[in-house]
Amino acid sequence: MIKQLSVFVQNEIGSLANVTSVLKDNMINLRAIASFDTPEFAILRIVVDQPEKAKEVLNAGGFAVKVTEAVAVELEDKPGELDGMFRVIADAKLGVNYIYSIVLRNGKVPLMIVNTEDLTKTASVLKEHGYIVAEQEDVNA
């Protein structure tokens, strides 16, 4: 599994740039980003190459940050790959809460980041069906 950060930001102009500036200023490489918003604030889910450092510097910058694990699955860029992964998860009676991707990986296949109610079971059933579940070092490379 990999680590993802949930960063709580105000729904206002420049708030996302404030987060990315903190990461840039601290030489932290952003690997994936997704934003889920409400009228007052947004939850920015990010995957970075240095999750603990990112949490520290974002907290110091005034952001509320939570680090959690996520399942990241390698998927070939061909029709049906995403459907196959969703079928395995559904057949295991697991619901998907959200999904986003890491596309640019230095020539490697993309990673789909999946959140379910049971990450350990999700990773296990995907591995049983031949999927490659990435680890944190796969994100850092």
Query: In CATH, what number does 2-68 get?
Result: 3.30.2130.10
Q: Which CATH architecture has domain 70-140?
A: 2-Layer Sandwich (3.30)
Which helix (H) or strand (E) is 132 found in, with range?
A: none
Q: Where are the beta strands (DSSP E) in the chain?
A: 2-10, 30-37, 41-48, 64-74, 96-102, 111-116
Contact yes or no for 120/9 (Cβ under 8 A): no
What value, to the nearest 5°, has the Cα angle with vertex 104 and ends 15 and 5? 40
Domain boundaries, the chain: 2-68, 70-140
Q: Which residues contact 37 (CB under 8 A, 6 or more apart)?
A: 11, 43
pTM of the entire predicted model: 0.83
Give the Cα separation of 121 and 125 in Å (integer).
6
pLDDT tens-place values along the chain, 141 residues long: 889 999 999 888 888 899 999 999 999 988 888 888 777 888 999 999 999 999 999 999 999 999 999 999 988 888 999 999 999 999 999 999 889 887 665 667 778 888 898 999 999 999 999 998 988 887 766
The token pair at 42 is: 């947004």
